[in-house]
Amino acid sequence: MPSNYRPFRGPIACADNTMKMIFYVESDGRHLSAIGFDGIVRWTRNPGVDAHIQPRDVGSPRIVWMGEAEPSMLGSHPDPGRHFIAIDLDSATSGVVDTTTGDFIRLAQD
């Protein structure tokens, strides 16, 4: 198992007060949704499918962590008008998700 492997522990969520959005990983661990503070779902995406990641086991790849994207992660995407969250998948893949579109940009894979 890769050294940065994190097990899937179930659904997770984080809020972005600046964007007035909640980012929610559904209980299957594969779908990520952006929900406005008004309760309207802005988008739902499957980053593993979007990145064409091959499953390692049944149900994989699943999102096991998400948080604020560090500026160093956005080196090739410096547009100050765009916002990103960082995610890790249990396939030892990490990347960022554009908070407006849900587009996943793979940054690393072990």
- Category of 8 on φ-ψ map: left (φ > 0), alpha (ψ -120 to 50) or beta: beta
Cβ–Cβ < 8 Å for 7, 57: no
Query: Is 52 a domain residue?
Result: yes
Q: For residue 26, give the CATH number of its domain.
A: 2.40.10.480
Q: How many domains does the chain have?
A: 1
Query: Is 6 a domain residue?
Result: no
Token pair belonging to 94? 């990490």
> 36-54, pLDDT tens digit by residue?
999 999 999 999 888 887 7
Parent domain of 39: 12-109
Query: Is 30 a domain residue?
Result: yes
DSSP reduced 3-state for 66? strand
Lowest mean pLDDT among 18-27, 80-89, 97-106: 80-89
Give pLDDT, residue 3: 46
Query: Is 5 a domain residue?
Result: no
Percentage of the chain beyond pLDDT 90 is 38
Query: Is 7 a domain residue?
Result: no
